Amino acid sequence: PGYFFHNSSVLCECLGLSMKWAMPLAEIKRITGTLAALGINIFVPHGLYYSISGHRKRECIPDFYHNTMWEYFGDWAKWIRTLGTLTAKADEHLADTVLLYPATSQQASIEVGTGAPYVDQGERCIKQDKLWTATGDILVQNAIPFEIINEDILCNGNVCNGELQITLPNGNIHKIHSIVLVSSWIIGDKTYEKLQEFAKSGGCIIAEGEQLSAVFTGKEILPVTPEKEFYTAIYDVEDKAGLEQTDLPVLLAKKQQVTRVTITGGQNSIVKKEWIKYGHYFALIQNFTRNKIGKVEIRGDFQPVTVDLDSMQFFRAKDSVLVKDFEYGEVLLLTDCEGELPELPAVQPIPENRLNLII
């Protein structure tokens, strides 16, 4: 995430392969809303040319200048600008689960490793990437917010009472309670020491795929056998088995301590993001499928306020439990704030007929 690296914004090109002539605006909201829930706050539509002169006019891929959506592009731009403003420069992301991506050590294993079991011509890295992606999908599909950290971020953190505490650029402390090692068979020696400290302090470390068997000292690779107490849980799975692994999200859900809302129903259909900004709590809940999702129960430890992203009107719920259906592409924004928020651009409601428009 950008805020670990002293950046307030994360950019992503979008709508490249998805732009088709029969694409509704609801699909654009579904794609960009899901990306926002995953941490993107600056969106660059693919093929958004400054001119259609010359060969651009005959570009074979349909894009904004070549179809009827251009008339309504401003509506979506206002909507996504509001969402991006709310999610950018967050004081803190409420995600205490992280995936460790030890890219430095993996590269070292390719360049330095000699002799079994340390030989790696890239096969182990490829296997790790596949399972790492599958693990991320599991967390997304089970509405478990998570962050991604590398070895430098891990080693610069402080361990205290079962938490890995990372100081953010704004001075706030990001608290991590669960670390997932995905086929991390080799890590740096400093990383190993920090993970040992975290485990002994009561932190949760989960191994999925190939287990840790070596450390890289900067000059050589040495064998290592972690103590039994090092791991909270171990999942010995193959590349694709993680997609059906149910124990992992169940365990991580129990370990979460910073989340303020839990979701029942809509499995494999709902993605969630929680953060603090302007001194208020926010949760972005998105139906990332093309189907209507019925009877999703959202339970909070507060009486939530829903925010209409089109009109920016605030509606207080009657109690701490919301039961609703999620329409195609629908985004739900919850907060504990009941009034106007600063820095938000003025927006106009998008007419219902525009949301259902087929290009």
State the number of CA atoms in the 13 A half-sphere of 75 facing the CB: 19
Instruction: Give CA–CA dist 85/220, Å, rounded.
Output: 47
- Residues found in the chain: 359
Instruction: Give CA–CA dist 328/349, Å, rounded.
Output: 18
Residue 69 clears pLDDT 90, i.e. is over it: no
Q: Where are the beta strands (DSSP E) in 203-340?
A: 204-208, 214-216, 221-223, 233-235, 261-264, 270-277, 280-287, 293-300, 305-307, 314-316, 321-326, 331-335
Instruction: Give CA–CA dist 245/219, Å, rounded.
Output: 37
Q: Where are the alpha helices (DSSP H) in the chain?
A: 25-37, 73-87, 103-112, 123-141, 151-155, 189-200, 247-255, 352-355
pLDDT the model gives residue 350: 47
- Please write the tens of the pLDDT for every residue from 307-333: 887 777 888 888 888 888 988 888 889
pLDDT the model gives residue 355: 44
pLDDT the model gives residue 74: 77
Question: Are the CB atoms for 132 and 101 separated by under 8 Å?
Answer: yes
The tokens describing 61, both together, are: 């891929």
**Range of lowest pLDDT (114-123, 159-168, 208-217, 220-229):** 114-123
Residue 239 clears pLDDT 80, i.e. is over it: no
What's the whole-number mean pLDDT along residues 153-170? 91
Instruction: Give CA–CA dist 84/35, Å, rounded.
Output: 10
Q: Which residue has the tokens 């909201």?
A: 29
C-alpha dihedral over 161, 167, 172, 178, to 10 degrees?
-50
Handedness of CA 269, 1, 75, 337 (dihedral sign): positive
- Please write the tens of the pLDDT for every residue from 21-59: 667 778 888 888 888 888 888 888 876 665 666 776 665
Q: Phi and psi dihedrals of 81, rounded to 5?
A: -65, -40
Mean pLDDT of all residues in the chain?
A: 79
Residue 221 identity: I
Residue 8 clears pLDDT 90, i.e. is over it: no
Instruction: Give CA–CA dist 249/49, Å, rounded.
Output: 42
What's the whole-number mean pLDDT along residues 237-263? 73
- Please write the tens of the pLDDT for every residue from 176-223: 999 999 888 888 899 999 999 999 999 999 988 888 888 888 777 788
Q: Where are the alpha helices (DSSP H) in 264-357?
A: 352-355
| 113 C-beta neighbours (distance < 10 Å), count | 19
Element (H, E) at 45: strand 42-45
Instruction: Give CA–CA dist 42/39, Å, rounded.
Output: 10
At residue 146 the predicted structure's pLDDT band, cuts being 50, 70 and 90, is very high
| 240 C-beta neighbours (distance < 10 Å), count | 10
Handedness of CA 264, 270, 271, 274 (dihedral sign): negative
**Range of lowest pLDDT (81-85, 112-116, 133-137, 245-249):** 112-116
Instruction: Give CA–CA dist 321/358, Å, rounded.
Output: 35
Distant-in-sequence, close-in-space partners of 236: CB < 8 Å, separation ≥ 6: 209, 211
pLDDT the model gives residue 176: 95
pLDDT the model gives residue 357: 42
